[in-house]
Chain A
Amino acid sequence: MTIPALSRRNLLLSSGALYAWAQVPKLARAEGRDPRLLVIVLRGALDGLAVAAPVGDPDWAALRGNAAFGLASKPAALPLDSFFALNPALPNFHRLYQAGHALIVHAAATPYRDRSHFDGQDVLESGLAGPGHSETGWLNRALAALEGQGANPGGGQAVAVGPVAPLVVRGPAPIVLWVPQRVLPASEDTTMRLLNLYRHTDTKLARVLEGRVALGNMSPNDVSAAAAMANPPPTVPGIAQLRPYFSEAAGNAAKYLARTDGPRVGALAFDGWDTHVREGILAGQLATWLDALDGAFAAIESNMGEAWRETVVVAITEFGRTARLNGDNGTDHGTGTVALLAGGALKGGRVIADWPGLKPADLYEDRDLKATTDLRSILKGVLRDHLRVREKGLASTVFPDSTGVRPFEGLLA
């Protein structure tokens, strides 16, 4: 057989249909909007009570003892409203909250009620009603649904960060992957030859490589030989590098989303929230991680620039942790927790919670913060009102078997 001649032009012609970067959903475009959505998956189960403390609940102090931080703690918690106060490791998020650009949903959870991280993460990211294998995530299927509505005739795409794309963003709609460049990249010629081979022999591999080509075309500044660092190889992000690492990852996702010709949806995952031992809510492990997350919010806001006012960032986790501390001054796997939302498109400055209380009888199985808000209602509210995914699709393909879970009203400004 003969392989057709390779050329740059060939590639653009054949991949043009796959990567037409005109991503404004049709309905939103009719309204003169260009919405962006970034989903941050916090893997390991974030302790919601340690993020937004119910300082107005009379049972709070007794429940957590010394770890029951509040407005008089050192450092002092940041006031949110008359009932909740924010962990002081999140000053940027607090500033956004005060500006009406951030909100917290408390006592929320997916429908999953057991305590396996991995089943919990699958439910969180797949959008299915229960655990089980899924090859696609709800965010990707939301893009596919938009395409079905005729919103993206050229095909939607999402950007993911890191060498392993989070499940939430995997699926039929093409994704592009951004990874910090540490090795001198292969030349365009080599990439084209390989792509040509894949097109003839392995279409799945071809699709992934096309994503790389598309990303390279889009951002000459980020994927360049000048930015490459062949030596030394990357090492573990130690504690000191955590904040820069989070900021770099989230900030780069924002750079792509901000571009007029860029993707409109992105996802990334941050691990490390599984605080079984010495949780360190105000100083220590959790405080360090929250500080890094706070830096990520700041990096997103700043790199979004003008697009910030059309942005929603959603940070979600698989479930919460035990309401009481365990024997190691940590917390074990629990149920209800927080979701953190930020972005100029939000009607922020509020904590959304149907507060279940903290008395033993109020707790789920006398151990976890009860979940009173289905996280899917929040996500549906964002997808419907921000991206204009229709409710029918939300209840069937995006979050299967969720007809009874209504989209949360009024999340957007």
Chain B
Amino acid sequence: MSTDARAEAALALHRFGLGPREGAIAAIASDPRGALLAEIGRPAAGQIVSPDLLSAAQAARNAFEDAAARNARRIVDERAKKAAATASAMTVSLSTGAPADASQGEPPVAQQVLLREAKARYDAAISADIGFAERLVWFWSNHFCISSVNLAAVAGGYEREAIRPHILGRFADMLLAAEGHPAMLAYLDNATSIGPNSVAGINRNRGLNENFAREVLELHTLGVRTGYTQGDVTSFAKALTGWTILPTVDNPDHGGEFVFNRRLHEPGPQTIMGKIYPDTGAGQARAMLMDLARHPATARHVATKLARHFVTDQPSPALVERLAAKFRETDGDLKEVTTALVTAPEAWTQPRSKLKRPGEWMAALLRAVDIQKPDIQRVTGGLALMGEPLWRPPAPNGFSDDSAVWIDGLPQRLDIANLTGERNAARIDPVALVDTALGPLASAETRETVAQAASRGQGIALVLMAPEFLRR
């Protein structure tokens, strides 16, 4: 096997995957591009099937029941305390020392669900051969991001239901699945947006919330400064009224699902970017979304983001245009667009100057050091420490793909690498780790620095913090 082929294999694992596991570089060195395409060619690429995971709607209902039950218990406890206080001081309190209810010590259901989902996500990342399909999931999940703040129970379900099935399908299908998902409708406030001239709007003197419409245009489809106006935002927001969530509070068996409520829907035709859309109920906004998915500005926006995420912070116009053209020609077939990305010459010649985002670096660390069953709370805690808390971006534009944003968090990575080194010193040899994780990418300086390390733990930390491991 030539050094060049092995270097391409290592590049493929770092740039498009989640970093090498032991033997991974050699395993794909005969055809790195082919290996990437083979991974996304598998029938269930990017899917997670697990009997432990609930649908987002079921999780929302469980979390609601849990919160309601906790509240009820709190009221009962308070009553009991009052009763005890008013009873004779001579009476021995029955509750002394005894836990009122074992389940009270457990974290809320929403938190438990979130951790189970986080574990499933990292299990998939750790066990993948290359991790290209997972990287695509992470990319699209960040493009259509929601935040788990207030939505802890549904964040994981949202990704499995709206994102994963479509990463290699049509962009329009992912767009409809994401924008129609209750998690998104709650996150961007559409669930409570009401047409001012709808039945509910008139009766309750309520109205529009334009947050969702603006972010769909700016972040999910066309991109900012592509010609749409405040008037387009308002009209789109009107068309989207009625896209809401079946309340869990009224219905313990069916709740938390998408519903179109015509009572909230602004009546009448709407015009965006010069095109009139008749009022067909839920179909009105759906027709707009279908047109947005096909718009050349959307193709360009998506192409730019893909190239920026996988290849370089400032991708060449030629690369962006090639991906955008593929998007337009194939009506947004993401498998075709992804294939164009992997087979682009720039994807293999661009210097490895991008800094891995904290989540990618964490996955690469777990894979390199062969930690197959990490404590998921440590993982999510580490991600928060490094500034990329799982499913909790600070704003609807998601986590940044600009290396400059992440570079200042380096000292936090060092502390985590240090801890990882100390905990795994007994079973990992740092010099072998250089070959596993970096192989032909390792510089002479890195090899020498690791070889001279004062301890195995320190050596491991130095590999995980080497420029070749941080960058891709």
Query: CA of A184 to CA of B418 in the docked complex: distance in angstroms?
Result: 9
Query: CA of A364 to CA of B211 in the docked complex: distance in angstroms?
Result: 19
Interface membership of B381, Cβ < 8 A = yes
B445 touches A365 (CB 8 A): no
B224 touches A119 (CB 8 A): yes
Using Cβ atoms and an 8 Å threshold, which residues of chain A touch B449? 3, 193-194, 196-197
Given contacts A3-B448, A164-B409, contact A233 B380 (CB under 8 A): yes
Given contacts A326-B207, A326-B209, contact A209 B387 (CB under 8 A): no
B419 touches A184 (CB 8 A): yes
B384 touches A185 (CB 8 A): no
- The stretch of B88-96, B165-173, B389-397, B432-440 in contact with A is B389-397
Query: CA of A164 to CA of B386 in the docked complex: distance in angstroms?
Result: 8
Interface residues of B toward A: which range? Answer: 35 or more
A201 touches B377 (CB 8 A): no
- The stretch of A68-76, A91-99, A100-108, A327-335 in contact with B is A327-335
Interface membership of A189, Cβ < 8 A = yes
Given contacts A170-B404, A233-B384, contact A43 B395 (CB under 8 A): yes
Which A residue's beta carbon lies closest to that of B314?
A: A133
Per-residue CB contact flags for chain A residues 296-340 toward chain B (1 = under 8 Å, else 0) read 000000000000000000000000000000111010110000000
Given contacts A197-B449, A233-B385, contact A333 B214 (CB under 8 A): yes
Interface membership of B378, Cβ < 8 A = yes
Which B residue's beta carbon lies closest to that of A209?
A: B410
Using Cβ atoms and an 8 Å threshold, which residues of chain B touch A200? 445
Per-residue CB contact flags for chain A residues 203-216 toward chain B (1 = under 8 Å, else 0) read 01100110110000
Interface membership of A115, Cβ < 8 A = yes
B224 touches A118 (CB 8 A): yes
Interface membership of B255, Cβ < 8 A = no
B209 touches A131 (CB 8 A): no
Using Cβ atoms and an 8 Å threshold, which residues of chain A touch B444? 1
Given contacts A1-B444, A117-B397, contact A179 B384 (CB under 8 A): no
B406 touches A115 (CB 8 A): no
Interface membership of B218, Cβ < 8 A = yes
In the complex, what's the smallest C-beta–C-beta distance from B163 to chain A, in angstroms? 21
Given contacts A1-B444, A232-B381, A235-B384, contact A276 B189 (CB under 8 A): yes
Query: CA of A197 to CA of B458 in the docked complex: distance in angstroms?
Result: 14
Given contacts A212-B411, A233-B385, A236-B149, contact A193 B453 (CB under 8 A): yes
Interface membership of A44, Cβ < 8 A = yes
Using Cβ atoms and an 8 Å threshold, which residues of chain B touch A11? none
B381 touches A235 (CB 8 A): yes
Query: CA of A164 to CA of B380 in the docked complex: distance in angstroms?
Result: 17
Per-residue CB contact flags for chain A residues 152-190 toward chain B (1 = under 8 Å, else 0) read 000000001011110000100001010100111111011
A191 touches B225 (CB 8 A): no
In the complex, what's the smallest C-beta–C-beta distance from A81 to chain B, in angstroms? 34
Using Cβ atoms and an 8 Å threshold, which residues of chain A touch B452? 3, 193
Given contacts A179-B412, A190-B458, A327-B206, contact A205 B407 (CB under 8 A): yes
Interface membership of B408, Cβ < 8 A = yes
In the complex, what's the smallest C-beta–C-beta distance from B161 to chain A, in angstroms? 23
A201 touches B445 (CB 8 A): yes
A190 partner, pick from B230, B382, B462, beta carbons under 8 A: B462
Using Cβ atoms and an 8 Å threshold, which residues of chain A touch B208? 326-327
Which A residue's beta carbon lies closest to that of B418?
A: A186
B414 partner, pick from A3, A191, A330, beta carbons under 8 A: A191
Query: CA of A168 to CA of B341 in the docked complex: distance in angstroms?
Result: 33
Which B residue's beta carbon lies closest to that of A191?
A: B414
A135 touches B404 (CB 8 A): yes
Query: CA of A201 to CA of B466 in the docked complex: distance in angstroms?
Result: 9
* Chain A contacts with B in 352-372, Cβ cutoff 8 A: 365
A232 touches B445 (CB 8 A): no
* Chain B contacts with A in 226-256, Cβ cutoff 8 A: 230, 233
Query: CA of A193 to CA of B465 in the docked complex: distance in angstroms?
Result: 11
Main secondary structure of the interface of A (DSSP, over half): loop
Per-residue CB contact flags for chain B residues 155-187 toward chain A (1 = under 8 Å, else 0) read 000000000000000000000000000000000
A365 touches B411 (CB 8 A): no
B407 touches A131 (CB 8 A): no
Interface membership of A413, Cβ < 8 A = no
Given contacts A163-B387, A197-B446, contact A177 B193 (CB under 8 A): no
A208 touches B419 (CB 8 A): no
Per-residue CB contact flags for chain B residues 304-333 toward chain A (1 = under 8 Å, else 0) read 000000000000000000000000000000
Which A residue's beta carbon lies closest to that of B207?
A: A327
Using Cβ atoms and an 8 Å threshold, which residues of chain A touch B465? 194
In the complex, what's the smallest C-beta–C-beta distance from B152 to chain A, in angstroms? 9
A202 touches B467 (CB 8 A): yes
Query: CA of A411 to CA of B465 in the docked complex: distance in angstroms?
Result: 46
Query: CA of A209 to CA of B207 in the docked complex: distance in angstroms?
Result: 51
In the complex, what's the smallest C-beta–C-beta distance from B156 to chain A, in angstroms? 16
In the complex, what's the smallest C-beta–C-beta distance from A185 to chain B, in angstroms? 5
Query: CA of A201 to CA of B408 in the docked complex: distance in angstroms?
Result: 18
Interface membership of B303, Cβ < 8 A = no
Interface membership of B201, Cβ < 8 A = yes
Using Cβ atoms and an 8 Å threshold, which residues of chain B touch A201? 443, 445-446, 467
B414 touches A277 (CB 8 A): no
Using Cβ atoms and an 8 Å threshold, which residues of chain B touch A196? 449
* Chain A contacts with B in 241-265, Cβ cutoff 8 A: none
Interface membership of B117, Cβ < 8 A = no
Query: CA of A233 to CA of B382 in the docked complex: distance in angstroms?
Result: 7
Kindly name the residue among A117, A271, A330, A365 whose own CB sees the greatest number of chain B CB atoms within 10 A.
A117
In the complex, what's the smallest C-beta–C-beta distance from A336 to chain B, in angstroms? 16
Query: CA of A87 to CA of B407 in the docked complex: distance in angstroms?
Result: 38
Interface membership of B25, Cβ < 8 A = no
**Sample of 8 A–B contacts (CB below 8 Å):** A164-B408, A193-B452, A205-B470, A209-B410, A209-B411, A235-B381, A327-B192, A328-B193
Q: Which residues of B pack against A, CB within 8 Å? A: 149, 189, 192-194, 196, 201, 206-211, 214, 218-219, 224-225, 230, 233, 377-378, 380-382, 384-387, 389, 392, 394-397, 404-412, 414-419, 443-446, 448-449, 452-454, 458, 461-462, 465-467, 470-471
Pick the 5 closest A-B CB pairs, nearest first.
A233-B381, A327-B207, A163-B387, A186-B418, A163-B409
